[in-house]
Amino acid sequence: MARVHWFRIVACVFGLVACSGADEPTDSAASNEEEIVRGHSDRGADRAVVAIDIEGIGLCSGTLIRSDIVLTARHCVSHTRPEVICPSKSSQLGAARAPEDLVILVGNDTKSARRRARGREVVVPSGNTLCNADIALIVLDHKIDDVTPIKVSTRAIGRDDRIRAVGFGLTGDDGQAGSKRVREHVRVLETTSHEFAVAESTCQGDSGGPALDEATNEVVGVVSRGGPTCEGPDVRNIYTRIDAFRSLIATALARSRGAAATR
């Protein structure tokens, strides 16, 4: 019988924000002191990682993969149940948010970041669950042509690969959100066909943010969910695998008015 895993997945008010991902406690991710949890500034290194203002009351992270396409999590663009059980036994999704309610902020801190575009269209997988499919692409109403997009990886992520986690989320269970931070050398603990797990790294507000391949700097995953907390040896965070959704990404890119990523 399949094991049931419960995780928090929330779209919250500013200062709290939307959640990250997890799997069963097995190991810890090796890292240096640069991290999202407990916080280290990104220092402008990842300009294409953006904040998403959700209707003025919520916050997610995302990645500019073309001048008018932002990659993020599906729960950032939809109304969802506050708790997610995987594998799912019922619908986890409510109504989609209006694309124009998704505002893209470019900068290192949400307090000073510039509002550059709104959603024009949202592209999501079929179905009404988030397990194994927590990914979305926002097609923007304006190009952000002064930021170099980040390429999307086509290779399969593997156990023991290393990623960089980047996002605007909380710096810890009692931390603050809104500043773009990074954690490097995070090890992939395990993978499935559509997701992969890491240990302590992300928190609320990092939802939709990228896992960047340390070797190529390409996007290999999108923060989905996590638990039971943001800090500690038992924390697990789940990313949706990018290589499992190549056709969905291609559909969104076909609706782009911008130039291809060159990074």
pLDDT tens-place values along the chain, 263 residues long:
233 343 444 333 333 333 333 333 233 333 333 335 544 566 778 999 999 999 888 899 999 999 999 999 999 999 987 677 888 888 999 899 999 999 999 999 999 999 999 999 999 999 999 999 999 999 999 999 999 999 999 999 999 999 999 999 888 877 778 889 999 999 999 999 999 999 988 888 899 999 999 999 999 999 999 888 888 888 899 999 999 999 999 999 999 986 554 34
Nearest to 235 by CA among 194, 195, 204: 204
Nearest to 99 by CA among 140, 70, 63: 140
Alpha-carbon distance of 224 to 96, in angstroms, equals 17
Query: Under CATH, which architecture does the 5-254 domain have?
Result: Beta Barrel (2.40)
Buried/exposed code over 58-83 (b: 16+ C-beta within 10 A; e: otherwise): bbbbbbbbbbbbbbbbbbbbbebbee
Quote the pTM value. Answer: 0.86
